[in-house]
A and B are shown apart, each in its own frame.
Chain A
Amino acid sequence: MPRQPSKNGQHARGRTASDAAGDTGATTASNGHASKRRRATAQSMAASQRDISVSEFFAKNRHLLGFDNPRKALLTTIKEAVDNSLDACEEAGIVPEIWVHVEQTGANRFKVGIQDNGPGILKKQIPLIFGKLLYGSKFHRLRMSRGQQGIGISAAGMYGVLTTGKPVKIASKTSARKPAHYYEIKIDTKKNLPEILNGRGEGVDIPPGEAGWKYIEKHGIEWVEVQHGTRVTIELEGKFVRGRGSVDEYLEQTAIANPHVTIHYLDPESGSDPANEKLYERSTDQLPKEPKEIKPHPYGIELGMLMTMLADARGMTLSQFLTSSFSRVSSGVASRVCQTAGLKPRASTQKIGRGEADKLFHALQETKISSPSTDCISPIGEELLLKGLHQVVPGEFYVAATRPPAVYRGNPFQIEVALAYGGTTGANRVPLEVLRDLLAECDARTLRQFLTTTFYGLGTDAADQIIKAAGFGSRTSPSKLKPAEIKRLHEAMTSVNLEAGQTMNVLRYANRVPLQFQHAACAITQSVMSTNWRSYGLTQSRGQLPSGPVTIMVHMASVWVPFTSESKEAVAGYPEIQKELRLALQSAGRKLGMYLRRRMKVKQEGERRNIFLRYLGEVASAVSDINKTDRKKLYDQLMLVAKKKTATADMRLDERGQVIEAELEEDPSVLIVNEPAEVGIRNPETKNGQATS
């Protein structure tokens, strides 16, 4: 089917010569009568056909990297910088400490500074790392890390330069005694190369000690004094919001999944005053186990890749090549592969042609090779998952489940799930001033949209309840509320019981990085939705997230996380991944179910108790009317009997429940926060202590 050139005009540049020629041919053929207008010829087209730089491509397609709107751009910039910092610290064996500083410099402009206490960067590498797209250490190896491609931070810098024209500023120091390096760079998008602006294109060295400080102050360089570390400052067009998909949320979620990280956060409202700093303190000094780098597994490669590898492996025999380039291929396995492929193990790799490579490829897929070693993955671990979740999400019951490592397409991966039950949603606790700010910042068109997008775990049902309780119309615009109306809304939000209308809050992580967008497209969300939570005591409509005060955190750790796009927002659904997700969710769900059933039992017992306790007073009065016994004394005695009776009921429950209780409480993957018992013996003597039930 010939495509219409007019439609394709703007993309024509992106096509190869043969493509373009084919198109032209087809067009002329279909337009049998030649038009007068001069058509492009293969020659004229060739003139405009040229290389496209990666930077140019991404400058045009910045949404692919997560810069689709100002709000997301700000977040992505911070995210990329923080992720890089954490990777660097962990790789160097340093317990990370991160400073995030967001400062508003204009109506839609923000200056973002992120500093770490990492190993620092060598002088000559700095411009390349921050000023060249697709430059990095992580792409070519198979090792679990947050960054993968080496696009992120340079793309953020590029976006900043594009929107504000201000250069990216980098300061880095590798040790206390060595000078710090300071660069101001721009990206030359045409060449995909950094352009250094300061120090006559060479950057500046800041000497250590007093002299350095003076220089820093004089030039207004931002720097928190550390022995070694890196700071990147980017000024960009952005929008600062709170609530869902915000910087606050990203940092909070990062703190959950990275309990070994301390984050100092200054938001635009802090006025850059360190006193207003928000601190996420680490709950452990233990660095996560260092993931090992592994060689690719034969099941995970493609034919083209195999051919490239063969071509690279000069002077090796086939057997040598197989054993040295792949993991889990011993000489025995190699000879079996060669046998299946009909090739000699001692053949030289250079003599392998396309056809033979194809045979070899298929032989590799057919031969039974054990799964790749999984020590290349470093999961967060159940204990730290519980710790992290408990610190940030209030609740009464926490459970974590870590699956054993598994493999998809030759890439090892591991799924971890942590779940928190109970607690109230943020909407119940939001202070009036914060609500006022939230309303002023939001760009939602309706109040309902504002509520559901700003607060986690607040479904449309709950939002409608709040709106109804506050007496607003369904289409009220949130930005036009008067102060009195805001107060009314606030009252409704704090008074309406949202537990029933709450939906499960899903926190997704890939290699410890929170994923904040594209919930629906993500295999994690899909797995949560397709799990049957009803059998674990939650309510759930078909194909929906379950409702209830539940926060679930799902972490996928892998040497290569299969994202659906470069902006790393959603995990692709490979069957192996879906299976592991399902099993992990079910394992956490089962324990939640046990807890909820037990809680239900206790509650029912309590209700039963209250029913007969209710009549004690009447019985005591009537009896004392008959035989003039002391009413108070009799009442107290009956109360004692009741307590004894309920105590035995408790005990029985405990014993029966103890089996569960012991199981649940001795289980290291479970954390139960004991709140004051909500169903105790209510004393009907104190008249107001008795609520109608």
Chain B
Amino acid sequence: MAKRPRKASDKKKADTEKVVLTDRDKKTLRDLLGLADRIVNDAQKKRDPYLEIPTRALSNVRYNKTRRRIEMGSNKNRRELFNLSQAKSYMQTVLVASGCKQLIEQGKTLSLRGLYYKLKRDVEGTKEPTFVDQGECDPVIEDVEVGLNSLREELHLYASNRGNLAGPLVLFDHATGDEIDCARMGSAGYSIPSIVENDVIEFKKCTAKFILHVEKDTVWRRFAEDKFWQKHNCILTHGNGQPPRGVRRILSRLHHEYKLPVYCLLDNDPWGYYIYSVIKQGSINLAFESQRMAIPDAKFLGLRSKDYERCELSPSVKISLSDTDIKRAKQIASYPWFEHKKAWQKEIQQMLKNGFKMEVESLISKDITYVTEQYTPARLEEGDWLD
């Protein structure tokens, strides 16, 4: 498991007993203590202990029209120990809290999977595991984040790296003390870490004019190989499907700190639409992070429903829509942030009318370099995108 001292100051490392806590660590510890004290307090007063956790569902998110991003509402869920359906997740929440507390005190960080393994054991006196799989653990971690109103990195947790970046960007990694030139990272590019806050990843220099975000690795490589970012002086990123928080955060920082416009080249399917939606106004699940992550000015470059005809693609690229696709498309069309955008309504209707979806790779069927040398430059030139 990767272990990194978190701060340059921590780098003096040596004996773990002398961990120097940052102010943020102290605040997080206070929050964690508060959580534990409340339980003790409740127990002393013979009340049912409960945790209040903001609801993470469509019902508790609000689209802020002026800020153009999703914001979390004030609805909270009670998680009670003495409630049949919540007892286990209550225990899990407390376990995660104690795990994080230990991490902070020892000045270590763990991946989500690492924490899962740290906490996984049999509930004492039974053969029931505390967590059945990581899928059970991850949402609880998110609950603790929201419940304590602290960020994942503040809990000393990180997700596995997913997503790469290439382009004229120089940054400084405080964790290792390396200066990284993202223009010289070879064919694989710079792997975007999970935590990219300024105190970890500091931007030194950026000469790019815009950012092109593509959906996945295969398309990213196509662009990288054709030296697209050199030719157009841009930063090229991908998030391997739904971009993780590290990718979204780095996009947001570049967008806000260097005023770089963000263009997205995603599949023409409900999944691609939702990736765009998450980049642009934040996700429903992590609405509390929108403020740091949302890029309300991000543009949707393609693939468009009309591209099958516009680019004269061969019929072999069609992938017929499944029932869930249709359901999901209608759901997305009814999201408040898409509801009043005529162009988007038209786009989604067009896809439904087509009855098929397309991946970005379908452009390759026309020509290997079609997407990098004709399609994308033409769209950027024309300013033909969806907002």
Instruction: Name A's B-contacting residues (CB within 8 A).
Output: 608, 611-612, 614-619, 621-623, 625-627, 629, 634, 637-638, 640-642, 644-645, 684, 687, 689-690, 692
Contacts and interface: CB of A to CB of B under 8 A. Distances in A.
Nearest to A624: B36
A622 B39 CA distance: 11
Interface string B131-166: 000000000000000000000000000000000000
Contacts of A621: 98, 124
Interface residues of B, number: 35
8 contacts: A608-B84, A614-B125, A615-B90, A622-B97, A626-B32, A626-B36, A644-B46, A690-B125
B98 A622 contact: yes
B35 interface: yes
Contacts of A642: 82
Contact of B84 (A612, A637, A687): A612
B87 A638 contact: no
B164 to A, nearest CB: 38
Max chain A C-beta neighbours (<10 A), residue from B43, B49, B90, B128: B43
B226 interface: no
B130 interface: yes
A614 B36 contact: no
Q: Is the interface of B mostly helix, strand, loop or mixed?
A: helix
A626 B48 contact: no
B94 A645 contact: no
Nearest to A646: B82
Contacts of A612: 81-84, 87
A641 B40 CA distance: 12
Contacts of A641: 42-43, 46-49, 82
A687 B125 contact: yes
Interface in B91-123: 91, 94-95, 97-98, 101-102, 123
Given A608-B84, A612-B83, A634-B43, A626 B33 contact: yes
B37 interface: yes
B44 interface: yes
Given A615-B91, A615-B123, A687-B124, A637 B82 contact: no
Interface of B: 32-33, 35-37, 39-40, 42-44, 46-49, 81-84, 87-88, 90-91, 94-95, 97-98, 101-102, 123-128, 130
Contacts of B82: 612, 641-642, 645
A317 B312 CA distance: 121
B276 to A, nearest CB: 40
B101 A618 contact: no
A611 B81 CA distance: 10
Contacts of A640: 43, 46
A638 B94 CA distance: 14
**8 interchain residue pairs of minimum CB distance:** A612-B87, A626-B36, A637-B43, A615-B91, A622-B98, A690-B125, A627-B36, A625-B98
A637 B47 CA distance: 10
Nearest to B130: A618
Given A615-B88, A641-B48, A623 B123 contact: no
A637 B97 CA distance: 21
Contacts of A690: 125-126
B365 to A, nearest CB: 55
A692 B43 contact: no
B183 to A, nearest CB: 46
A642 to B, nearest CB: 7
B125 A623 contact: no
A142 B35 CA distance: 84
Contacts of B101: 625-626
A627 B40 contact: yes
Contact of B40 (A614, A617, A629, A689): A629
A158 B100 CA distance: 94
A641 to B, nearest CB: 5
B43 to A, nearest CB: 4
Nearest to A684: B125
Contacts of A623: 36, 39-40, 94, 98
A472 to B, nearest CB: 33
A625 B106 CA distance: 13
B41 to A, nearest CB: 10
